[in-house]
A and B are shown apart, each in its own frame.
Chain A
Amino acid sequence: MNVLEVQDLGIRLGGTEVIRGVTFNLPRASCLAVIGPNGAGKTVMLRALIGALPHTGKIAWAADTVLGYVPQRLDIERDLPLNGRDFLRAKAALAGSSSAMQAAALRSVGLAEEVLATPIGNMSGGQFQRLLIAFALLGNPNVLLLDEPAAGVDAPGQAHLNEVIHGLQDTHAMTVLLVSHDLSVVYRYADHVLCLGRHGACFGPPRSALTPETLQEVYGQPLGFHVHTHA
């Protein structure tokens, strides 16, 4: 059963066609990775999926869908007088989540309670991304949309974030839609991949959809990526 059905999606920004003729389905409790070069429209498509941008074609979410959204790295002013607790409490109040739920969301992403006293502009990239994921988890979403959640985070931090996201999918049977530039993450965690390229889109399981030819077509140049297969 699909949680999302997208047919012939088209998005224009300022008179320029950014996305055209994109069609894919997202089965429940699966992980879809969206890949493509910079400027291919990955973030734009995510914004259209959450209803933030006008579009043509069909975007149909299942009736029981509750979205959690983690945007691309946000530039927060360092002196913004909002700390992690203010931010999390605001969502908890909007979503009707208890303080126990806030604590559970923090535990899920491995963020210490003490970090909440830090202004969000002073948090490290990894801390803030984890806070954003904890924030998205409040309100019990069954679909998590993440736009390059590990961007700007150091390598160990990235590995931990990927484990967190994968863990959430396992423990909460959550559907995950993830924009990523990291093909190893795509091969490791995604059930399906949607590639947005300069010459159209492709969709399917990573191992069959991401052939060297497809990758070259999507990125406009050959990618030296080797997939290990174990018999």
Chain B
Amino acid sequence: MHELAPELGSLALSALMAVAAGLMGSFAVMRRMVLAADPMSHIALPGIGIALVLRVNPLWGALALLLLGAVLIWAVERRTRIATEAVIGVTFAVALAVGSVITSGEQLIDALLGARGTLTLHEALFGIIGALIVIVFVLRQRNALVVRLVSPEIAMTSAVNVARLDLYFLLAFALTIGLGLRFLGVLLMGSLIIIPAAIARRFARSLGRMLTVSVVVAVAATAVGTYVASVAGRPSGPFIVMVAGGLFFLSLLRRRET
């Protein structure tokens, strides 16, 4: 029983993280941010390096830089007319280069692919609170996000503060990536945000179905991937993404409804 409790806690936490990823991914996919999730997660890397140098928990360094990166994208996107993906791509390719210089060896592998081991109390609390923030944000703001998605101008005349909503969305997106760092690592968290939503988009014809399918796939991939990884005695991140990717390829076998 003593052995089982931390495992169950960890599983519940990763399920919560998967719900957040499924919800956030739905809007990221609909906003054509599919390719942005991956490079955006790279900015966590120099944060991890700096945190290790300063001898603080790498998670906090990663989180700080992810949130800073979100504000940076928001500010650059407002000033220029360059598409978000170009800004994200360039900024975070540089971040990855810097990160790989100041992080090295095993730390780098852990940061990229996720580390095994028990979570500290602070990490667990961050996981719970962070996931709840993302879940509540998406569910509460879904109407504003839907209108913003169709037309920013319509949103403006519907009493939506579009600039603020965009900032909160990017911060929530960065937070979602931060949630997965400990489990999946920098490289793989973007995939858990995008793949379930990409599967959902193939079949959903309404927002409710999109959100539901995306969350169910994210949770299922996380649960199955974590179980297989524990049996194999390996880090869970790659297995979670392999299961999600497998489901995506399976989904290609079914024709899309028109």
Contact = CB atoms under 8 A, between A and B. Distances in A.
Nearest to A132: B154
B186 to A, nearest CB: 29
B151 A81 contact: no
Nearest to B30: A80
A67 B146 contact: no
Interface in B113-157: 142-144, 146-147, 149-154, 156-157
Contacts of B160: 94
26 contacts: A50-B156, A67-B157, A71-B153, A71-B154, A74-B151, A81-B200, A81-B201, A81-B204, A81-B207, A81-B210, A82-B30, A82-B207, A83-B206, A87-B147, A90-B142, A90-B143, A91-B158, A93-B143, A94-B159, A94-B160, A95-B159, A117-B205, A122-B258, A132-B154, A136-B157, A139-B159
Contacts of A71: 151, 153-154
Interface residues of A, number: 34
Contacts of A52: 152-153, 156
Contact of B157 (A14, A50, A79, A86): A50
Nearest to A70: B154
A51 interface: yes
Interface of A: 14, 47, 50-52, 67-69, 71, 74, 76, 79-83, 85-87, 89-91, 93-95, 117, 119-120, 122, 132, 135-136, 139, 145
Given A67-B157, A68-B157, A82 B147 contact: no
Nearest to A122: B258
Contacts of A132: 154
Interface size class for chain B?
20 to 34
A79 B152 contact: no
Contacts of A120: 150
Contacts of A90: 142-144, 146-147
Contacts of A82: 30, 146, 149-150, 206-207
